[in-house]
C-alpha cells in the first residue's frame, strides 16, 4: 500500500495516483500521521509488516525498480522555461545546483529490491526480517526534542490549512531546529513556498529562495543548502541487511 504525505491535501496526490492506477490501497495522509506513528523522516520510505501485523523492518529508504524507459524519459524531461522568472542566469545556476546535488544521491535500489523479494518468498526465515527488538532499536530516536518537533510540525500544518501561513512558518522553523534530520518536515514546509518553476510538474521541488529574492526566504535551510551540508550521498541512509 502507499501513503501520500502532503499537508496540501488529496488533490495534490490525485494526478499521480490516477496515472499509476494502482490495485493496492493508495491512501492520503494530510497530517503526516505516518511520520509520527512509524518514524518516517524522508520520502520515499517503506515499512514492512508481516501477516500478524508485526513490523519486521521499520521506516527506511525505499526504492522501486528502474522506471520503464518511457516513464523515465518523462520524469527526466527538463522543466518548461519560465520566461517570467527573473533573473534567468540565477535560475539556471540554482537548477544546476539542484541537479548536481540530486545526481549525487546514492540509491540502494538493487539491494533493497532483492531483500524485498527475499522476504516475500521466505517470510520470517528471511535474513532481512528483523527481530522485534531490532525493529524498535532501528525505528529512530525519539526524545523530548524530536517529540516537541512533532508537536510543532502538527501545529504548523494545522495553521497552514487554516490559512495562517505566517504562523505556520514559525512552527515549521521550530520543528526544523529541533529535529534537523527530519527531511519530511523540511521538504513539506519548503514545498509550500513560491516556486520559480510555477506551472511545471517540478514546481514543488524548487524548495528554495526565488532568484533575486534570496532575503525573502522564510527558512534557515533550503533543499540545496541542507543536502550539500550533509553531503548528498548521505541524503538517504544506506540499506542495512
Q: Which is nearer to other proteins, 89 or 125 (CB)?
A: 125
Chain-centre distance for alpha carbon 116 = 21
Please name which of 33, 109, 99, 105 lies closest in space to residue 64, comparing C-alpha atoms.
Answer: 109
**Distance of alpha carbon 236 from alpha carbon 205, whole angstroms:** 17
Site for other proteins in 65-104 (CB under 8 A): none
CB 108 within 8 A of CB 223: no
Residue 200 is a binding residue for other proteins (CB under 8 A): no
CB 152 within 8 A of CB 182: no
Residue 235, classed as helix, strand or coil, is: coil
- Identified binder of other proteins from the candidate list 85, 95, 115, 149, rule CB under 8 A: 149
CB 24 within 8 A of CB 30: no
Q: At how many degrees (to 10) do helices 183-190 and 165-178 cross?
A: 160
Q: Which is nearer to other proteins, 124 or 230 (CB)?
A: 124
- What the block records as the C-alpha cell of 125 is 526465515
Site for other proteins in 158-177 (CB under 8 A): 158-159, 167, 171
Q: Which is nearer to other proteins, 88 or 147 (CB)?
A: 147
Site for other proteins in 30-59 (CB under 8 A): 33-40, 43-56, 58-59
> How far does the chain reach from its first CA to its final CA, in angstroms?
23
Q: How far is the CB of 17 from other proteins (least distance, A)?
A: 6
- Identified binder of other proteins from the candidate list 95, 119, 182, 208, rule CB under 8 A: 119
Q: How far is the CB of 81 from other proteins (least distance, A)?
A: 21
Binding segment for other proteins (CB under 8 A), chosen from 68-76, 80-88, 181-189, 214-222, is 181-189
- What the block records as the C-alpha cell of 216 is 525573502
Q: Calculate the alpha carbon distances from 61 to 9, 42, 65, 100 in Å.
A: 23, 8, 13, 20
Q: How far is the CB of 96 from other proteins (least distance, A)?
A: 20
- Identified binder of other proteins from the candidate list 86, 113, 155, 218, rule CB under 8 A: 155
Residue 114 is a binding residue for other proteins (CB under 8 A): no
Q: Which is nearer to other proteins, 33 or 106 (CB)?
A: 33
Amino acid at each position: 500500500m502507499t501513503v501520500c504525505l502532503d499537508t496540501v491535501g488529496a488533490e495534490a496526490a490525485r494526478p499521480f495516483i490516477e496515472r499509476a492506477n494502482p490495485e493496492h490501497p493508495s491512501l492520503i495522509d494530510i497530517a503526516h500521521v505516518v511520520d509520527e506513528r512509524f518514524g518516517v523522516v524522508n520520502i520515499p520510505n517503506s515499512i514492512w509488516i508481516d501477516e500478524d501485523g508485526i513490523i519486521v523492518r521499520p521506516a527506511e529508504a525505499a526504492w522501486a525498480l528502474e522506471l520503464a524507459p518511457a516513464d523515465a524519459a518523462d520524469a527526466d524531461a527538463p522543466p518548461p522555461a519560465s520566461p517570467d522568472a527573473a533573473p534567468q542566469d540565477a535560475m539556471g545556476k540554482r537548477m544546476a545546483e539542484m541537479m548536481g546535488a540530486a545526481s549525487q544521491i546514492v540509491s540502494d535500489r538493487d539491494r533493497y529490491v532483492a531483500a524485498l523479494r527475499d522476504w516475500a518468498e521466505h517470510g520470517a526465515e528471511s535474513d532481512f526480517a528483523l527481530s522485534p527488538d531490532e525493529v524498535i532499536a532501528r525505528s529512530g530516536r525519539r526524545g523530548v526534542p524530536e517529540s516537541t518537533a512533532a508537536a510543532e510540525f502538527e501545529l504548523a500544518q494545522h495553521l497552514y490549512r487554516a490559512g495562517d501561513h505566517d504562523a505556520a512558518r514559525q512552527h515549521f522553523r521550530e520543528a526544523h531546529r529541533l529535529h534537523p534530520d527530519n527531511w519530511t518536515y523540511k521538504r513539506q514546509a519548503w514545498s509550500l513556498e513560491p516556486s520559480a518553476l510555477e506551472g511545471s510538474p517540478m514546481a514543488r521541488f524548487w524548495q528554495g529562495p526565488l532568484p533575486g529574492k534570496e532575503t525573502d526566504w522564510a527558512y534557515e535551510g533550503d533543499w540545496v543548502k541542507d543536502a550539500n551540508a550533509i553531503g548528498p550521498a548521505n541524503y538517504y541512509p544506506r540499506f542495512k541487511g
